[in-house]
């Protein structure tokens, strides 16, 4: 009975020893963990400067350039600059050609609506057939019944002058007299030149072009090697050479309705006539006093647009017979320097033809530069 208390002490001691052991076990990992963490931190702190040194060591060669590398760097920079500069300094020939081509497209001549070239304005044109063409570019600016064949009346006298000047068979200052062979037996029109009047060939050409004097033109066509038949044949041959297939002549005055052409083809005749200095001078002269052997006669230009300075032209000619109506052709100098050929056929009145010329001249001066 005396040994009973010992078993009660043993469990208490065991529990105490176990608690002490547990505390010791718990203390040892925590210390080890702290030591481990301390050593890792120490390594990190000591390693950081080494990394900085390695980075600095790697970066230094990137920023350094040896003497061998320096020219290469400059050359590459120069090449890059050259490549960038190429668009700023292109070869001169190609861009000039492109600019010239673009200039042609951008500045192609045309009549502008803001200058009055509208359907309503075009509807007020009196002439039956109209053709307007820029001579430098051969660009048609306006065409109305331009290929309709019609009588051209005294516009024929431009071809009369061209053919007579081409022959050059007689001096211009030699006199030529008006005869009964020069009278109009077709329309029986009158003339201020009486039979027997004697004028120089230059004066006959002058009044035929400026004032549309019929007997002057008839005398010049008679004064040709082979006579009038040869002269008319030469007129038709010249029209063929000028590329005027629908143009035909039967006399040099234009009094016959069988002298026909188109507004488009007459532009070729005007262009050809402009190549003769005397035609340019005589056709646009405002007035001239000519001796006839029995006194002097004062002639004025039959084209009122030219006579009163409403249009600046280098060549002009008017014409009228009942079958043709009133006709007018001009080589207009727009702003005094740009040639545009205007042909108008078939106006019912001379005033209608004049107003058409004024309207078209305004279109041209406003639209073209």
Specify the CATH number for the domain of residue 211. Answer: 3.40.710.10
**Is residue 250 one of the residues assigned to a domain?**
yes
Contact 290, 156 (CB under 8 A): no
Distance CA 177, CA 200 (A): 9
**Is residue 260 one of the residues assigned to a domain?**
yes
**Is residue 287 one of the residues assigned to a domain?**
yes
**Binning pLDDT at 50, 70 and 90, where does residue 107 land?**
confident
**Is residue 207 one of the residues assigned to a domain?**
yes
Q: What is the residue range of 338's domain?
A: 111-367
**Is residue 322 one of the residues assigned to a domain?**
yes
**Is residue 71 one of the residues assigned to a domain?**
no
Joined tokens for residue 216? 């002057």
Instruction: Share the mean pLDDT of the chain.
Output: 82
Residue with tokens 């002097």: 296
**Is residue 82 one of the residues assigned to a domain?**
no
Q: Report, as an integer, the average pLDDT of 290-301.
A: 95
**Is residue 348 one of the residues assigned to a domain?**
yes
Write the DSSP symbol of residue 58.
H
Q: What is the pLDDT of residue 169?
A: 82
Global pTM reads: 0.72
Question: Measuring CA to CA, which residue among 236, 259, 252 is closest to residue 181?
Answer: 252
Residue with tokens 């970066």: 59
- Residue-wise pLDDT for 131-163, tens only, equals 999 999 999 999 999 999 999 999 999 999 999
Please report which helix (H) or strand (E) contains residue 275, including its range: none
Beta bridge partners, 326, equal 320, 347
Joined tokens for residue 198? 């004697």
The total number of structural domains that make up the chain: 1
Q: Which positions are catalytic?
A: 154, 157, 212
CA 369 to each of CA 107, 111, 212, 261, 339: distance values in angstroms, whole numbers, following the listed order: 9, 11, 33, 31, 11
Helix axis angle, 263-273 to 156-167, nearest 10°: 30
- Residue-wise pLDDT for 297-337, tens only, equals 999 999 999 999 999 999 999 999 999 999 999 999 999 99
Q: Is the pLDDT of residue 16 over 80?
A: no
Q: Is the pLDDT of residue 84 over 60?
A: no
Q: Is the pLDDT of residue 196 over 60?
A: yes
Distance CA 351, CA 347 (A): 9
Distance CA 269, CA 238 (A): 9
């Amino acid at each position: 009975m005396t040994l009973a208390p010992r078993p009660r002490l043993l469990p208490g001691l065991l529990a105490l020893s176990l608690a002490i052991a547990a505390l010791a076990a718990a203390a040892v990992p925590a210390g080890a963990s702290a030591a481990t963490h301390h050593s890792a931190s120490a390594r990190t702190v000591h390693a950081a400067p080494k990394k900085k040194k390695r980075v600095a060591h790697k970066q230094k060669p990137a920023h350094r350039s040896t003497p061998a590398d320096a020219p290469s760097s400059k050359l590459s920079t120069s090449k890059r600059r050259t490549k960038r500069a190429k668009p700023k300094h292109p070869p001169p020939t190609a861009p000039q050609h492109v600019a010239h081509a673009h200039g042609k497209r951008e500045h192609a001549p045309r009549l502008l609506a803001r200058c009055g070239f509208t359907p309503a304005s075009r509807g007020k044109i009196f002439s039956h057939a109209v053709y307007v063409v820029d001579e430098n570019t051969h660009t048609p600016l306006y065409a109305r019944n331009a290929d309709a064949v019609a009588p051209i009346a005294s516009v024929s006298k431009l071809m009369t002058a061209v053919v007579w000047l081409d022959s050059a068979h007689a001096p211009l200052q030699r006199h030529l007299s008006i005869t009964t062979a020069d009278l109009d037996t077709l329309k029986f029109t009158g003339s201020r030149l009486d039979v027997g009047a004697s004028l120089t060939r230059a004066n006959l050409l002058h009044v035929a072009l400026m004032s549309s004097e019929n007997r002057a033109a008839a005398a010049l066509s008679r004064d040709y090697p082979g006579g009038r038949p040869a002269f008319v044949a030469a007129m038709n041959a010249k029209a063929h050479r000028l590329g005027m297939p629908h143009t035909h002549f039967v006399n040099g005055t234009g009094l016959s309705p069988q002298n026909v052409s188109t507004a488009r083809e007459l532009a070729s005749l005007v262009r050809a006539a402009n190549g003769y200095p005397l035609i340019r001078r005589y056709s646009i002269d405002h007035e001239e006093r000519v001796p006839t052997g029995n006194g002097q006669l004062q002639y004025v230009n039959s084209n009122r647009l030219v006579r009163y300075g409403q249009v600046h032209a280098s060549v002009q000619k008017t014409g009228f017979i009942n079958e043709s109506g009133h006709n007018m052709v001009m080589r207009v100098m727009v702003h005094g320097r740009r040639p545009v050929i205007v042909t108008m056929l078939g106006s019912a009145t001379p005033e209608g033809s004049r107003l058409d010329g004024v309207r078209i001249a305004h279109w041209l001066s406003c639209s073209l530069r």
